[in-house]
Structure 1
């Protein structure tokens, strides 16, 4: 088995509501159950947000602690990645959960446009979040909404603000940000190889109808993928996804098409340079 493909499932996000798709998990219990099913389907990383009881986004560390406790109990092998995104909080509030020491956390290193607003990631906040992740042993995943974000990740690695070689995720298809463009995607891959080495792991996420498209491009090109109801609530144009696990299953089918094994949590940790859990 060579070049296993990591599948990350983004189970909830900040925006999708049950009115968009009843399968969107909102409560802690729903998120744990959805993650367990997605893990059994092939996901080795869960990208997690938390919500208030009314479904609005939250950055409450206590909610993250409850979610982490549930995930560790019911899905002990899966790698847990917390979101430090800007829709659920502002300033240092965005990183208040890092002290819980999840395996990973998302890190946006620059600003860009979103559909109705500017996604602000000022340099001082980026540096603080990176420092908090380093202090608590949390592996960043760089969310690159623009080419400049890949270049910034390289600069931060070179000057020591990022301790480890960056694991970069290309996010494509966000309205008013980088579209899902095959030539741009190919250039991103070449840029990763040039800056970080041909063996540097990277992944890609497509938003909405572009999810399966980006899954296909990334798996075929040797990268890793993100799927899940945060980014896309449909199996196809006419069918709502019945679960996060169903979207993971589509990514697994692509892995089979391109003859790439699905990475286990153990292999995922090895690929990303993370410590293996201690077995009692």
Structure 2
């Protein structure tokens, strides 16, 4: 198996704080520095959230613009992917940064339970976000927390509602959503191959599931995500010193399975994104 593996670094998210791990990057400057180190370790995609001055989640387009500018300067060619996730805002504020034309943006096409709340993605909002991505030529990364999300994404793509090539990420291990279950993972992979053979897929595991799902995805020929958004530890007793350390661990797994780590240029070609 020699197909390059795309590594995505989820640098900050909306939940982890410096109290959880001092390495969590909060300010734009910290995010750029942390992402640069992960880029050097092999990350081709930066999955980006931004925070307000007090560290709380934000959808502020100005902060996204500053982060995008910093990443493009210090991580040449890296794929910039903005989050439109629901913890950072409500309704259409979640897509207010899409006119900045990042390479990609996350898109959840259905609702599900989170640890202490419902993650609401009503059909009208999904339609609007997808429309904004089409208008600004932003390729969605479908964040699938449930089987129905994968099937709906395939339907939307076939109907022409999603810009660019189909790229689906299985998110496994969120409490009250889909657990990191190997039988389910294998079914997801077989479903993608049968229903959307032209598509690319990746997988992300939350918490201690991160390294487990990294290995499943790499071994199965897909792509994968790591980073402090999803997991602040290397193991039960050791905090991760950086996003780069989690990407380096995923890169080591790629080496064990004989898969080269995709460069940003290779990742752009694999995903059908515009060149830099």
TM-score, L = length of structure 1: 0.97
Please name the residue that 2:82 is paired with: 82
* 1:103–1:139 CA contact under 8 A, matched in 2: yes
* 1:165–1:196 CA contact under 8 A, matched in 2: no
Please name the residue that 2:47 is paired with: 47
Please name the residue that 2:248 is paired with: 249
Kindly provide the CA deviation profile for residues 97-132 of structure 1, in whole angstroms up to 9, marking residues without a partner as x: 000000000000000000000000000000100010
* 2:137–2:163 CA contact under 8 A, matched in 1: no
Report deviation, 1:258: 0.3
Please name the residue that 2:237 is paired with: 238
* 1:110-189 equivalence runs, <5 A: 110-189=110-189
Please name the residue that 1:38 is paired with: 38
Report deviation, 1:41: 0.4
Would you say 1:58 and 2:46 are equivalent positions?
A: no
Report deviation, 1:2: 3.2
Count of paired positions: 276
Kindly provide the CA deviation profile for residues 184-235 of structure 1, in whole angstroms up to 9, marking residues without a partner as x: 00000011011111x5310000000000000000000000000000000001
Query: Helix, strand or coil for the counterpart of 2:152?
Result: helix
Please name the residue that 1:222 is paired with: 221
Please name the residue that 1:209 is paired with: 208
Q: Distance in 1 between matches of 2:184 and 2:5?
A: 21
Superposition RMSD in Å: 0.9
Report deviation, 1:242: 0.2
Please name the residue that 2:261 is paired with: 262
Query: Helix, strand or coil for the counterpart of 2:86?
Result: coil
Gap regions ≥5 residues in structure 1? none
Q: Distance in 1 between matches of 2:174 and 2:193?
A: 24
Q: Distance in 1 between matches of 2:163 and 2:79?
A: 19
Please name the residue that 2:73 is paired with: 73
* 1:146–1:177 CA contact under 8 A, matched in 2: yes
Query: Helix, strand or coil for the counterpart of 1:87?
Result: helix
Kindly provide the CA deviation profile for residues 5-53 of structure 1, in whole angstroms up to 9, marking residues without a partner as x: 0000000000000000000000000000000000000000000000001
Query: Helix, strand or coil for the counterpart of 1:235?
Result: strand
* 1:27–1:51 CA contact under 8 A, matched in 2: yes
Would you say 1:272 and 2:271 are equivalent positions?
A: yes
Query: Helix, strand or coil for the counterpart of 2:230?
Result: coil
Report deviation, 1:76: 2.0
